[in-house]
Amino acid sequence: MTQPFEIVASLDDGDKSQELLKLLEDISNLSDKITLHSDGQDARTPSFAINRPGEETGVVFAGIPMGHEFTSLVLALLQVGGHPPKTSDEQLDQIRALDGEMLFETYYSLSCQNCPDVVQALNLMAIFNPNVRHVAIDGALFQDEVESREIMSVPSIYLNGKPFDQGRMTLEQILAKVDTGAAERDAKS
């Protein structure tokens, strides 16, 4: 990590919040570039955001990203901390050029093998475009939301509160669906 960042945790008195706090304390003790705050105000608890000082990156984990999602957590920490992603410059330029506010919510399970691809792609989009936010939600911890949205499989992706897609998706597939200005940019080149 080359840049400092902060983890902002939103916790309650429950056991899962204490489990998350312990994980985040362990992470923050790994580097002096990481600051942990446990005074977050997110409505979903337990959850945490990974931000640069004075700047929200839009990367939020609602739940405890272990199992298959642990890699997603590690990549988000590294990328917010300045480590370059393994993505082409063209894709990063396409992410930066996206217009409009986008709030993605991805419901995952810790045993899902397809979920990390989606979570990592959307986290990357949030890190590189301030108009994009992504909340990765552990469906097991937020059962009320899963039931109210009638989610039957994971990953289930919502964009601005509406169903976007389900199942494994690559960064390229997500960008193809949301980048309405790509054809116009190509025409100008």
Tokens representing 179? Answer: 């980048």
Task: pLDDT band for 182, please (50, 70, 90 cuts).
Answer: low
Query: Which residues does 98 contact at the CB level (< 8 Å), separation at least 6?
Result: 125, 129, 131, 132, 175, 178, 179, 181
Query: What architecture does CATH give domain 5-180?
Result: 3-Layer(aba) Sandwich (3.40)
Give residue 1's pLDDT: 81
- pTM for the full predicted model: 0.93
Query: Which residues does 2 contact at the CB level (< 8 Å), separation at least 6?
Result: 81, 82, 83
3-state secondary structure of 108: strand
Task: pLDDT band for 100, please (50, 70, 90 cuts).
Answer: very high
Contact, 72 vs 27, CB < 8 A?
no
**What's the rounded mean pLDDT across residues 2-16?**
96
Give residue 24's pLDDT: 98
Contact, 21 vs 48, CB < 8 A?
no
Give residue 184's pLDDT: 62
* 3-class SS string, 13-33: CCHHHHHHHHHHHHHHCCCCC
Task: pLDDT band for 118, please (50, 70, 90 cuts).
Answer: very high
34 pLDDT above the threshold of 90: yes
Contact, 87 vs 124, CB < 8 A?
yes
pLDDT greater at residue 107 or residue 186 = 107
